[in-house]
Structure 1
């Protein structure tokens, strides 16, 4: 028979190592019980760790797209609201022109011209709307106010119109000689002089600082949309054309026939403006619908990936909680044994 010497120090050391291992396992069990995932993904999954990392990266990328889509949706919504107000301003101009019964009454002409001026000022204000520090209708030049204010002092657009009028007719708008302007002269002036200033090259020179290229955004892994509008579109230009000729010539001393021709031309321009603005609204509405569908598609992808990630990473929370309880009991028992062993000393009996 052989006996082996075992010291109390050796027993205490063994218990201490047991406690340390149990504490480490407790931390892992607590993490798993709290998060529902393996405490050490790499240790548990081994070679499949690369797969779960790749899936989590894809999910994070898809969430980033959804967050970006929220910003794009906000820009589109703000643009839609501004375009609605711009269309309302154009409709106000149209209603004013259509409701003109007596086109020779000076008081009514002045009121109509002032109404159109106010409506166009509102139109300009909404055309220069911004969201999150970006101008909505400047195309890709989002840091530049897109539309110059025609009624503002020193307006280049007004100076160009005044110069063109004087050069063509030989007198200013309010000169009494304006009563001699014929309908043919008016049509020629509007078509060959004013339209190039507003609907042609003069637009980018005197009116607009916007870019023709609109903003684009990727709303899905393989889908890109136009996410803004530009003031350089046909609708805003026609609105500027209609408003300008009304503000400048409606209450001037024109003959009845010539003024009637002016009103009819203005009505035609503003009607085209409303159609053009509504087209822009429809285009942005289509982009909003595509974002909504893209978000639904992305969410389906995220849900599917999350299910597969869960199958790889998730643990049984109840099992982890039970294991944590057992480990806690084990540690407490080890503490109790350690305390009793420390009392096994001959000095306690001498």
Structure 2
């Protein structure tokens, strides 16, 4: 019988090559056990990657839609919070001012008006809020603070009412300043810093989008700011002195605040519908994502039992290879002879 001799160097090379192969297979099987996905995707799909690519593309789109919906939900919640603060403050202040309008003692009226200035500042701060780096009420200019500060607005109004000594004239001047159209030298020109263009629609799913385009330039919001500003002017002593004039302006401010409440309620109701649409879209996207992930597992999923059994077999082979390598390394010419 003829024997083929294998040199020590060739034998060492073969052992190393077998070790590398076994380690590679073990790594692949370990990944399969951990991820539940076959490492050889081409073999799993029989070389036809079309269905798998379509699933992966749809999953990527759903992730993008979900991120967009999350941001839209945060923006809608932020807008809802700002409008809620505005509505609550308008209702409390408006009711309080009307209740005190006929009071003989001017002290309670003065106390309510002092609170009005603080409420006006809080409302302006809320309207200038931003979520995820985007201002909520600035239209397309979401990177711009949409409205000037309360002090700047009151300073501009003090110029408009300079020289007026009648409560009705002051009320009309303040209302006209807030109601003036763009180019009329009023609020839109002096205090509104946002865009007159609508912010773009937000895509929630394939062919489904919503709009979050409530701007401070909207008449309903400007009407509410009219009442706050009028009360703040009196509270900061920026109108002529006189108890009756101050009481009349306080009553006018309360009427403006309460008459604007219906607009705020409408805005908040529309936002509620939008928030529900966002939540529904996210629910549908989540369900579709789960379904597609199951389909993907059907295509390239690895059987856990099969992968674990194969992994155990490879570990046994690798241990055997290490044992043989150790024994062969211990051989010597003296032992052979």
- Normalising by the residue count of structure 2, what TM-score does the alignment of the two structures yield? 0.82
Partner of 1:288: 275
Find 1:308's aligned residue among 281, 285, 295.
295
1:152-231 counterparts in 2 under 5 A? Answer: 152=152, 155-162=155-162, 166=163, 172-173=164-165, 178=166, 186=168, 193-201=173-181, 202-212=186-196, 213-214=198-199, 216-227=201-212, 229-231=214-216
CA apart distance, 1:321: 1.4
Shift of 1:200: 2.1
Q: 1:295 to 1:248 in 2, by over 3 A?
A: closer
Contact 1:76 1:284 in 2 (8 A): yes
Q: How far is the alpha carbon of 1:140 from its aligned partner?
A: 2.3
TM-aligned CA distance change 1:349 to 1:47, over 3 Å: closer
SS, match of residue 219 in structure 1: strand
Partner of 2:22: 22
Q: How does 1:1-350 map to 2 (within 5 A)?
A: 3-9=1-7, 12=11, 17-100=17-100, 102=102, 105-152=105-152, 155-162=155-162, 166=163, 172-173=164-165, 178=166, 186=168, 193-201=173-181, 202-212=186-196, 213-214=198-199, 216-227=201-212, 229-248=214-233, 265-338=252-325, 348-350=335-337
3-state SS in 2 of match to 1:218? strand
Q: Which moved further from structure 2: 46-55 or 198-207?
A: 46-55
Query: Of the two, which has the highest radius of gyration?
Result: 1
1:84-136 alpha-carbon deviations (Å, 9 max, x no partner): 11111111221122202535644444334334333323322222223333322
Q: Secondary structure at the match of 1:99?
A: helix
Q: Alpha-carbon deviation of 1:232? A: 1.6
State the Cα distance separating 1:259 from its structure 2 match: 8.1
Residues paired across the two proteins, number: 327
Write the distance in 1 (CA, Å) between the matches of 2:107 and 2:329: 110
Which structure 1 segments of 5+ residues have no match? 167-171
State the Cα distance separating 1:230 from its structure 2 match.
1.6
Partner of 1:169: none
Query: Aligned-pair RMSD on alpha carbons?
Result: 3.3
Preserved CA contact (<8 Å) 2:95 2:254: no
Q: Distance in 1 between matches of 2:177 and 2:127?
A: 19
**146-155 or 122-131: bigger deviation:** 146-155
Deviates more, 1:232-241 or 1:150-159: 150-159
> C-alpha separation between the residues in 2 aligned to 1:286 and 1:47?
47
**TM-fit CA distance, 1:25:** 2.4
Tell me the distance in 1 between the aligned counterparts of 2:57 and 2:105: 72
Distance change (3 Å), C-alpha of 1:214 and 1:280: farther
**Normalised by the size of structure 1, how large is the TM-score?**
0.79
| 5+ residue gaps, structure 2 | none
Q: Is the 8 A contact 1:235 1:272 kept in 2?
A: no
Shift of 1:198: 0.9
Relative to structure 1, the CA distance from residue 214 to residue 20 in structure 2 (aligned partners, 3 Å threshold; closer, same or farther) is closer
